[in-house]
Amino acid sequence: MKLRSNLLLLCGAVLLSASPVHAFSLDHLGFRFGSEVGEPIRVRSAEAYLLSEPFYEKSFDPLYGELSLNAVAAVGVLRAEGDWSTMARLGPGVNWEDPFTLPLVLRLDVSPTLMSQESLAGRKIGGIFHFTSAFQIDLKMSERNSLHYRIQHTSNAGLRRPNPGLDLHFIGFSRKI
C-alpha cells in the first residue's frame, strides 16, 4: 500500500515535470484545497496543478469572449479518517474568458485519473483507475494571480463495482508563470 502510494507520487512528479504539458508552454501553476460535498466521511484533498498555454484559441464578438483549449496536469492527496490516497491526472481543458468586461475565466476539464488506493476510510471507491470531470470559476485578481472555486466528480465510469464516486469542491490559487 505504501509502496503504491510512493510510486504514484513519483509518477505524478514525473508527470508534472516531463509530461506532454511541456510540449506546450506552461501558463499557470496552482494549488487547491477541498473537501467532499455532503458525505459523512469528510474526505479532504490537496492538489498542485499546471495549465499549459492554450493550443487552440477562438475569439468571438466581444460580447461572447474567447474560447481556448489547453492541457491540465495535477497531482494530489485525498485523506479521510486517517486513511489517504495519492492521485495523478492529465487531460484536456476548455476555457472561456471575457477579456473586456468581467475578470472571470470559466474552465471545464475531463481527465483519466490514477489513485494509489482502492478504498478510503473503509469505503470502496471503485478501483484505482477513474475519470475526473470538473467545472471551475477563476476570479482574476491581477494580470498574473487568480482565485478559484472548483467542483469535480471522480468515478470509474461504471468500469467496476462499486462505483460511488467522489464529489469534491475546492478553493484555490493560481499564478501565471
Domain count for the chain: 1
Question: Whole-angstrom Cα distance, residue 31 to residue 43?
Answer: 17
- pLDDT tens digits, 14-46: 554 544 444 557 888 999 999 988 766 688 999
Compute the distance between CA of residue 177 and CA of residue 174 in angstroms, rounded to an integer: 9
CATH of the domain at 55: 2.40.160.20
Q: What is the pLDDT of residues 60-101, one digit of tens each?
A: 766 678 899 999 999 999 998 888 899 999 999 999 987 677
What are the φ and ψ backbone dihedral angles of 57, each rounded to 5 degrees?
A: -135, 140
Please name which of 123, 53, 117 lies closest in space to residue 88, comparing C-alpha atoms. 117
The H or E element containing residue 11 is helix 2-18
Question: Residue 167: which domain range?
Answer: 2-176
Q: Which residue has the cell 464578438?
A: 61
Instruction: Pick left, alpha or beta for residue 42 (phi over 0 → left; psi -120 to 50 → alpha; otherwise beta).
Output: left
